[in-house]
Homo-oligomer: A and B are copies of this chain.
Amino acid sequence: MSRKIGVIGMGNVGSTAAHYIVANGFADDLVLIDINEKKVEADALDFQDAMPNLPYHTNIVVNDYSALKDADVIISALGNIKLQDNANDDRFAELPFTRVQVRDVAAKIKAAGFNGIIVAITNPVDVITSIYQEVTELPKNHVIGTGTLLDSARMKRSVAEELNIDPRSVVGYNLGEHGNSQFTAWSTVRVLGHHITELAKDRGLDLEAIDKESKLGGHKVFHGKKYTNYGVATAAVLLANTVLNDALTELPVSNYREEYGTYLSYPAIVGRDGVVEQIQLDLTQEELDKLQISADYIKTKYAESK
């Protein structure tokens, strides 16, 4: 019955995600929504101008919430990145804007009768994912944030660069808030057949420096162009495809963890039914402490957002 994806918010991230979907034929039907009607119509037309030179066809619907009723996945990419730029790289700077927008959007999604999976990119993503779940009243495991799927990719990129290998050959996770309180759970990182903590000595790896570089990398992207789009849009589309394919892949995404009482990033098995299983890592005490701090931070911010 065909794949149907909605993208809400056609800024740098949403339009890049939509383009990635169109260029690869990942969806049959694509619903694009933005309050800036001229922008979303411009993007839709631009995609249609691309289509005669593309191998796949995608049906595009613009600004029609009712078309989301039978969508499989909605990617929420709305935001106001300028707020972050003025605020020292704190993703929470966007919250006063996004919490209002997202409540409105979530209510409309609910009114449309949407019954699929929400993939949230909108920042601060852990709080926003909570808001989506709260307003739509969808099951908690049907609302997922891209979370540290991007940050884990950045960590892999930094580690891989240091060792001159493919980042895909690095296994491991960044956990917690998709924001400043997150951290690399080095106990989970394996590369070249070893725990990276073992390898670090032999190879002269400075994990703290890598951690820093990985975070600075994100800032470098952000300050270099005043937004980031390719990394996060790729993460979001991978997550959406994982849902569509029912791939049951382990991904570090923002999902509701009962023991922390909040959405935060922690690896989970993702499929057509959203988060279908939660992993239980063997973290070190230090990592557990960091995760608790990160969880508390998200919870406080969520409470403040109400």
Chain B CB within 8 A of A99 CB: no
* Residues in B whose Cβ lies below 8 Å from that of A52: 152-153, 156-157, 167-168, 170
* Residues in B whose Cβ lies below 8 Å from that of A45: 217, 220-221, 224
* Residues in B whose Cβ lies below 8 Å from that of A22: 230
A55, chain B: closest CB distance, angstroms: 3
Contact A165 B248 (CB under 8 A): yes
Residue tally, chain A, CB below 8 Å to B:
90
Contact B28 A246 (CB under 8 A): yes
Which of B38, B55, B157, B170 is A49 in contact with, Cβ under 8 Å?
A: B157
Alpha-carbon gap, A169 to B249, bound state (A): 6
Q: Which of A202-220 contact B (CB under 8 A)?
A: 217-218, 220
Which of B2, B20, B149, B229 is A246 in contact with, Cβ under 8 Å?
A: B2
Determine the residue in chain B with the shortest Cβ distance to A38. B224
A240, chain B: closest CB distance, angstroms: 12
Chain B CB within 8 A of A135 CB: no
Chain B CB within 8 A of A82 CB: no
Q: Which of A125-184 contact B (CB under 8 A)?
A: 149-150, 152-154, 156-157, 160, 164-171
A32, chain B: closest CB distance, angstroms: 12
Chain B CB within 8 A of A296 CB: no
Interface 1/0 per residue, A67-104 and B, CB below 8 Å: 00010100000000000000000000000000000000
A223, chain B: closest CB distance, angstroms: 7
Q: Which of A271-299 contact B (CB under 8 A)?
A: 272, 277, 279-282
Contact A72 B231 (CB under 8 A): no
Contact B157 A42 (CB under 8 A): no
Alpha-carbon gap, A46 to B29, bound state (A): 27
Chain B CB within 8 A of A54 CB: yes
Chain B CB within 8 A of A1 CB: yes
* Residues in B whose Cβ lies below 8 Å from that of A72: 1-2
Known contacts A153-B49, A221-B49; decide if A165 and B2 are in contact (CB<8 Å). no
Known contacts A2-B1, A2-B272; decide if A49 and B231 are in contact (CB<8 Å). yes
Known contacts A43-B230, A70-B1, A169-B269; decide if A225 and B56 are in contact (CB<8 Å). no
Known: A45-B224, A169-B249. 8 other contacts (CB 8 A): A25-B241, A39-B224, A42-B224, A43-B225, A47-B231, A49-B157, A57-B248, A165-B249
Show the binding face of A for B, using Cβ within 8 Å: 1-4, 16, 19-20, 22-25, 28-29, 38-39, 41-43, 45-59, 70, 72, 149-150, 152-154, 156-157, 160, 164-171, 188, 190, 192-194, 217-218, 220-225, 228-235, 238, 241-242, 244-250, 267, 269, 272, 277, 279-282
Closest 7 CB pairs of A and B: A42-B224, A49-B231, A55-B55, A57-B247, A50-B234, A169-B250, A166-B249
